[in-house]
Structure 1
Amino acid sequence: MMGSLPSTQTAALYRPGDVHLSIVHDYPVPKPGRGEVILKVLACGVCHTDTFLLSGATFDPRTYVLGHEVCGEVVAYGQGVDRDKIRMNQLYMSLIGDHNDHGVNGGPAIFNALGTGLDGGYEEYVKVREDLLVPVPPGVPPEVAAIAADAGITAYDAVANRAGLGPGTNAKVLMFGIGGVGHLGLQYAKHFGATVYACDIKPEARKLALELGATEAFSLLDLNNKITKESFRVDVVIDFVGINQTFQLGFNALKPNEVNFPSNPISVIVGVSPENFTLNSADLLATGAKILSTQYGSREDAVKALELFANGSVRAIVATEPLTNVNKIIDELRAFDVRGRKVVIPHGDHHGKVREFFHSLHQKS
């Protein structure tokens, strides 16, 4: 059932070789196939992965709509969709994909998924498989639910599953990059009871880290001095930047010395970059550290992240802008000039204004 949807829409297209998206106003509105629905996109987060895709690093020959942090309402059903389970008046967040999905030509599945190979949420109406929909709890607005689709899930997987932090932990955790994903990861770790230290090149990000509960926040130079001169050590490193410099600093913070002996040291790599990491095998064996990575998480992670948003345990910092501003936001991400997460709104008239709000039930009057 398609209802009275328009035949064309505004969309932001990835074209191979272009460093910016093409804004078009006559892109076809999709039709749902079996087991699929059409979501009216109410919000879609803008992610550093978009800058990675636009850099040409994946050599993707396809033209498609970017945008993988999607939240919206069902406006049309394909055949076979359970309409008692998938309802039109319910707000849904969409998973990017699942662990059964496959990539193209042997590549990772994450680059053949919603907004990362297949048409995503930088359009007014997007086609989504019904099995990828996650209902959004009451009280969580679309702007916040959207970032749960990647930033919320990925940070949760890194903290809870890869790093193994859970309720009552007393681990010391060092996090690199307090941006759209990192500012959530910091709060997850604090929620579980960890002592969190933050490192970011930007003074405003370090300030935000302290506001969100970090014990200390360092520049790269300050952290290096802390490690080399004060024997600073942690049990867990979670790197939301993913460059060789942060990897090396993090690994040095896991090395045992005469003062500190990290327990079961773990390094979790989350950030994406084209840089190679250098590591001495003798250091790795002497340290005994586990080096892990994550590219996403599970439906269960999504549900848990949304619950933390809903009950006010995690403060999602989100700014909204019109879809037509998406290239401006991508350039801001390239310059590391975004506080928290930015989200585009395909529908409605923002009049070019930016609206930032801190979603926290504890702050509501």
Structure 2
Amino acid sequence: MTEARAVVSTGKGKPVEVTTIHVPDPGPGEAVIRVQACGVCHTDLHYREGGISDDYPFLLGHEVAGVVDSVGDGVHDLEPGDFVVLNWRAVCGSCRACKRGRPQYCFATHNASQPMTLADGTPLSPALGIGGFAERTLVHSGQCTKVDPAARPAVAGLLGCGVMAGIGAAVNTGQVGPGDSVAVIGCGGVGDGAIAGAAMAGARRIIAVDRDPEKLAWAREFGATHTVNASESDTVEAIRELTGGHGADVVVDAVGVPATYEQAFYARDLAGTAVLVGVPDPSMRLELPLLDVFARGGALKSSWYGDCLPERDFPMLTELHLQGRLPLEKFVSEEISLDDVEAAFAKMGRGEVLRSVVTFP
């Protein structure tokens, strides 16, 4: 067992606490990771606010890059010292999705079996099965993907969740290709990931939509060719005007509320694709004329984790970053310590940052 400093959420709406946790030695199929960097994601705030479940206390953090500290029995593809990015969907290899050759949709993903605990023995619920706001964390070995150690941890770790979700929504789910027109509604970390992915895929026109002028300026840094301020213009009409009156080939909704999804539905061209990657609230309902769903054709898709396969996508995207073709470093607004996570949540709520990243000495 190892002791580690970590950020824990003890109750709905309560400020997070930095405290000592106990990390077990890895059991069969498990690995202990020495965390080097972990991004502050909206999902962590959802955990703190009780929006995911009420299984407090939560060990927050999940966008992790770090080094393998130790491995348990039966782990043959990792060894101490390997530089890895963690994922929260370790595939099983044997469910019906995996057997059909679609492991990115694995229906039986898994995490470490042993619990990490508070010093008094209280079990912790790790965010997305990771718990990365900690000096060390315990995960299943299948959650570890080796990438080129030349990448800075503060940058590489962002592939573990939000940035990958955005890039994958455009490239994997939306299947954006050379010459396509793309619109992205919501230009936070996920939306800008979709913009970066669309640019990387060769889209000829990329329209960023948001209400915040600063976020629209950030979107241009990731490859947006046009911007629409949704507080000043009708989103659907603006996207149509920028696409010759037709609508975009692919529209990504990175917000995830009924109003933005309806905009995505109508802002696409006939036979175009709408991709939902923003996570809705469980109470939300959508109403669309069924005739419009039929008549407009195309595809309505939801994107799970950017439909990524970590062992394929993390190393590839890391390499593209190192080649200068994917500006992951632009997502990092600031590097902070464990003690600054609560303040980072406030900055995120005010829209002041794309990503605050906790880094460790």
- Structures share a fold, TM > 0.5? yes
The alpha carbon displacement at 1:225 in A equals 6.2
Work out whether residues 66 and 115 of structure 1, in 8 Å CA contact, stay in contact via their aligned partners in 2. yes
SS of equivalent to 2:220: helix
Counting only pairs closer than 5 Å after superposition, residues 85-164 of structure 1 correspond to structure 2 as 85-100=77-92, 115-116=126-127, 118-164=129-175
Partner of 1:351: none
When residues 116 and 110 of structure 1 are mapped into structure 2, their CA distance, relative to the original with a 3 A threshold, is farther
For 1:192, the aligned partner's letter is A
Partner of 1:20: 15
Of 66, 70, 83, 2:64 maps to 70
For 1:253 and 1:271, how far apart are their aligned partners in 2? 17
The alpha carbon displacement at 1:244 in A equals 2.1
Of 342, 345, 359, 1:327 maps to 342
Of 34, 42, 59, 1:40 maps to 34
SS of equivalent to 1:72: strand
Partner of 2:122: none
For 1:321, the aligned partner's letter is I
Work out whether residues 64 and 119 of structure 1, in 8 Å CA contact, stay in contact via their aligned partners in 2. no
For 1:343, the aligned partner's letter is V
Moved more, 50-59 or 287-296: 50-59
For 2:51, the aligned partner's letter is A
Q: TM-score by structure 1 length?
A: 0.81
Matched, 1:302 2:314: yes
Work out whether residues 199 and 223 of structure 1, in 8 Å CA contact, stay in contact via their aligned partners in 2. no
Partner of 2:210: 200
When residues 219 and 291 of structure 1 are mapped into structure 2, their CA distance, relative to the original with a 3 A threshold, is same
The alpha carbon displacement at 1:156 in A equals 2.9
For 2:165 and 2:186, how far apart are their aligned partners in 1? 14
Q: TM-score by structure 2 length?
A: 0.81
Partner of 1:354: none
For 2:65, the aligned partner's letter is C
For 1:56 and 1:37, how far apart are their aligned partners in 2? 28
For 2:164, the aligned partner's letter is I
When residues 310 and 115 of structure 1 are mapped into structure 2, their CA distance, relative to the original with a 3 A threshold, is farther
What is the root-mean-square deviation in Å for CA atoms of aligned residues? 2.6
For 2:210 and 2:109, how far apart are their aligned partners in 1? 27
For 1:46 and 1:17, how far apart are their aligned partners in 2? 18
Moved more, 66-75 or 272-281: 272-281
For 1:14, the aligned partner's letter is S
Matched, 1:242 2:251: no
For residues 148-169 of structure 1, the C-alpha deviation after alignment (integer angstroms, 9 at most, x for no partner) is 1112322232112210124xx2
The alpha carbon displacement at 1:283 in A equals 1.9
For 1:81, the aligned partner's letter is V
Work out whether residues 62 and 117 of structure 1, in 8 Å CA contact, stay in contact via their aligned partners in 2. no
For 2:54 and 2:207, how far apart are their aligned partners in 1? 37
When residues 68 and 111 of structure 1 are mapped into structure 2, their CA distance, relative to the original with a 3 A threshold, is farther
Work out whether residues 277 and 304 of structure 2, in 8 Å CA contact, stay in contact via their aligned partners in 1. yes
Identity of aligned residues (%): 29
The alpha carbon displacement at 1:39 in A equals 0.8
The alpha carbon displacement at 1:62 in A equals 4.0
Work out whether residues 199 and 218 of structure 1, in 8 Å CA contact, stay in contact via their aligned partners in 2. yes
Q: Which runs of 5+ in 2 are unaligned?
A: 96-106, 113-124
The alpha carbon displacement at 1:209 in A equals 1.6
The alpha carbon displacement at 1:298 in A equals 1.4
For residues 78-97 of structure 1, the C-alpha deviation after alignment (integer angstroms, 9 at most, x for no partner) is 22322xx4233331111112
